[in-house]
Amino acid sequence: MRARPLTAVLGLLAAAAVLAGCGKEPDPRAYPGSESGVSWEDAAARYRISLPSCPVEGFRFDVQPPLTDRLAFTFTAAKSCVDGYLRQYGADPAKPFGHWPTGVSGTTGGATIGPSAPPFDADEMQRFGWVLDPAVRYDEYDTFHAPDRWSTFKVLVKPGPDREVVYLRSVTLG
């Protein structure tokens, strides 16, 4: 009779140990739906990137598992900080690739694209709460990459006199 309670207790202890090691607390800066248990530090290491060394506000990120492989993040910082960050990763703040809204219409892959079509995936932008103002001219960069060119990002910067909002989304990994 004594073997049953002991077996049950050992089973419960084993289950508790397994559950305790299953997951970490979610990173509070991660968007809902981000890869479970992956902190910003883990995601940044995967993409070989970091945040600027200056103070940032409103930092949020989304990372997806290796099969879908995506890193998207946003932050607000001083203009001088954003300029230095762009330079650090190979983008010249004085020479954006383009602007958003683009002001042009056309088709791509059979789909009609309007002049204010979102610069990132519309579903992702909605999930992240990224709302852009079509009355503002944003700078767009496509040369932002990790120092070893491991990963590249599309970057959109909402200019401001003192502080700028930066949106980044990975384009390639490796």
pLDDT at site 20 = 39
Best CA proximity match to 127, nearest among 13, 33, 10: 33
- Apex 118 CA angle, 113 and 119, nearest 5: 100
Query: Residue 80 has what pLDDT?
Result: 96
Which neighbouring-strand residues pair with 72? 62, 169
Q: What is the pLDDT of residue 23?
A: 55
Torsion of CA 69, 52, 164, 127, to 10 degrees: 30
Regions of the chain short of the pLDDT cut 50: 1, 8-22
d(CA 95, CA 143): 10
| Domain boundaries, given as residue ranges, for the chain | 40-105+113-172
